[in-house]
Structure 1
Amino acid sequence: MDVPALGVRAPVVARGLDPAGAIDPPPYTQPGVVGWYGGGVRPGAKGTSLFVGHVDTESRPAVFYHLSALRPGEKVRVTRDDGSLAEFTVDDVQVLGRDDFSARMAYGPREEGRAELRLITCGGTFDRTSRTYSANVVVSAYLTGATEP
């Protein structure tokens, strides 16, 4: 995955769901890796392809540390299994509080029949007692180009 505006170039690994039914992110021991929900839509196919990454670890920033700084119009590129490249353009960036989190807003399509992508990480404030963040940062983007392998 390549997010030029953030200086991010990261490997992507397929992930499943955790016991609570959320996308299981890469282990904290791999802070520079992005997880793709392998049970869902492939990048560039119609529907919403989901990617998750950590914002930080106990000691340092992680791959999506600056995710909330993305702006509409900026690009996200994903190299697919066949070697082709799917390019997405950021549509919007939202911070969704955990108390009012909407799975439809985070994971659902913005426009039916379109190839979309979501980048998701933790955001808001960090509660040291519960060791959780108060929100999620959700970047929505749509397919604007693809190259052959």
Structure 2
Amino acid sequence: MLRTAASHAARSLLAVALLATAASGVGVAHARGLSWGTSEATVAVTDLPRQGRQTYQLILDGGPFPYGKDGSVFGNRERLLPRERRGYYREYTVETPGARDRGARRIVCGGKRPTTPDACWYTSDHYASFKRIVQ
């Protein structure tokens, strides 16, 4: 009986939290305790490293991109970005000065049209964390 009462109380608290966050504009997934890692953190376009600003502009311009993998589907296997159908996200390399390969920095954008993405995220640590790019 005690377990049932505790479960009911927990559900009631969740319902109150969902209503409060819906009213405040916070995402339901966040209210449920589901995390998208640091994807809720933001970075202004102007605060991206120079190479990040250049890559972001190339995305909006439709290229040309310096790496063959730029524009390829990003699978979101880490599940740090909002869940979307496969093919929604595309990844682009942000050059890292001194790196012998593509480095760890990327911009990942989601949407139907690559040159007008719904949203883009920057990662400096090869998908371990993300910051949503804002104007």
Confirm or deny a common fold (TM above 0.5).
no
TM tier, shorter chain?
Answer: under 0.3
TM-score of the pair, normalised by structure 1: 0.24
TM-score of the pair, normalised by structure 2: 0.26
Larger Rg: 2
